[in-house]
Amino acid sequence: MAPSDLPVTGHLVAGELIDGTGGDAVAVHDPSNGAVIGYAGLGDDALVARAVAAARAAQPGWAATPLRERMAYLDAWRGKLAAAADSLTELVIDEMGLLPAFARNVHVGRAVACLERLEELAEAVLAPRREGISLIVREPAGLVAAITAWNFPLHMLVSKISSAVALGNTVVLKPSEVKPLAAWAATRLLAELDLPPGVVSVVGGTGPAVGAALVAHPDVDMISFTGSRAVGRRILAATAATITRSVLELGGKNPALLLPDAPLDTALPAVLGSCFFNNGQVCGAQSRLIVPRALLGEVEDRLVGLVADTAAGPPRAAGTRLGPVVSAVQRDRVAGYIRAGVDSGLRLLAGGPGAPDGLPDGSADGYYIRPTVFSDVPPDHQLAQEEIFGPVLTVHACDDVDEMVAVANGTRYGLTASVWSADLDRSVAVARRLQAGQVVVNGGGFNLSAPYGGVKESGNGREHGREGLAELTEVKSMQLPA
């Protein structure tokens, strides 16, 4: 039973906020010290059925609502999220163990930013076009079931809901029960908007219960899922009978290629920053560094110095550069990979098994991982093939660019990659050879208006930008008289 003095997340169904039940709730832990800071209330298949019925009933009227009127609700939500940035940031720090500036600028900042160009992009996607005698239009997909991951819970909830709703879809979303507090705060702000009942429902719960009920429901028109490859496969199997469309983002094992003329002063801190981004828990992390063999010694020396400056500790402590991972389960999983690397004889440059040294009092029960780098790793090694989802970098030496590209493409994944060279055209030429949905070239920044998604077993479809919005529509062509 959840203690009465700790928050319990609930549900939003058919315009009604429903309290979570303490008896069935899942504990939410502060990763910096292991303390319980709240509970995730769990829904069930009956609540899913109620939410889907409300969404189905609301969809025709919402689709007929002009884009400008739909966007007025979302603009109001954006304003509420921006006004609540301070409190949302504190929730993100507490439940995710992230440094304050990162929590505010990335987690909260991107949640607000994904709403800023939405009307312009939606208008472009929905604009009819002529193709000879045909009039081609895009219409809402219908009822979208969305399921989010725990590593960006606030941004994913806002992005998946707003993208679908802007285009005239209705949404039933299951947030992660692992890290639900900031997402629930954003849901409560959404409930203040007086949207037509059923346009958006949020049902908390576990994947095997609420997620499975959503995926299997015959009234769901499409599924938007971010999470593991294993769950993505189960979704595809479950929807085969109904041919339900899906957009799946299933992670990556992403390479960073330093070409022989790469600017190491710029490239190495950026690659390490990507690997340790979100405390190492991001699907797009550049976790494989591929370098010319002639540069291996210099790269190793520089990495050792950079990691030495990456102090792991509590997110609000002075000097901390890397916070904890989100849970004891995740800590043990990442530590298991590190031990496997050591046990198999990989050359350890920095980090290794065990908690970081010098943790302050009160942090012993936190979920800390030492930032770790292994070098000269065989490309077929477990650590080079499997998504670790923690602050662990593997370094691979190659004899020429062709071998670098082959190593980069030599996994089942294909989400992101990066290429570094003093010559932009050369970087772009190599980027065109990489099997990845998005490639960072010479340190280019993240763009919420660009499509994001993967190839191979990193998933299908795209999110963000025009291409991502188009996934949430169906195409109709009308053949007019000549």
Q: Just list the catalytic residues.
A: 249
HSE-CB at 234 with a 13 A cutoff on CA atoms is 15
CA distances from 142 to 12, 28, 199 (A): 19, 33, 11
- DSSP state string for 256-315: EEE-TT--HHHHHHHHHHHHTGGGG--TT-EEEEEEEGGGHHHHHHHHHHHHHT--B--T
How far from the centroid of its chain's Cα atoms is residue 166's Cα?
A: 20
Name the token pair of 42. 């769990």
Tell me what percent of the chain is helix, strand and coil, each rounded to the nearest 5: 40, 20, 40
Q: Please answer whether residues 349 and 374 qualify as being in contact, where contact means their C-beta atoms are separated by less than 8 angstroms.
A: yes
Kindly state the tokens that stand for 43. 């829904």
User: How many C-alpha atoms does 442 have within 13 Å on its Cβ side?
Assistant: 13
Nearest-CA neighbor of 277 among 389, 395, 181, 363?
A: 389
CA distance 305 to 349: 10
In three-state form (DSSP H/G/I as H, E/B as E, the rest C), the secondary structure along 358-427 is CCCCCCCCCCCCCCEEEECCCCCCHHHHCCCCCCEEEEEEECCHHHHHHHHCCCCCCCEEEEECCCHHHH
**Which residues pair with residue 248 across a beta bridge?**
225, 460
Closest CA to 34 of 390, 328, 335: 328
CA distance 365 to 466: 44
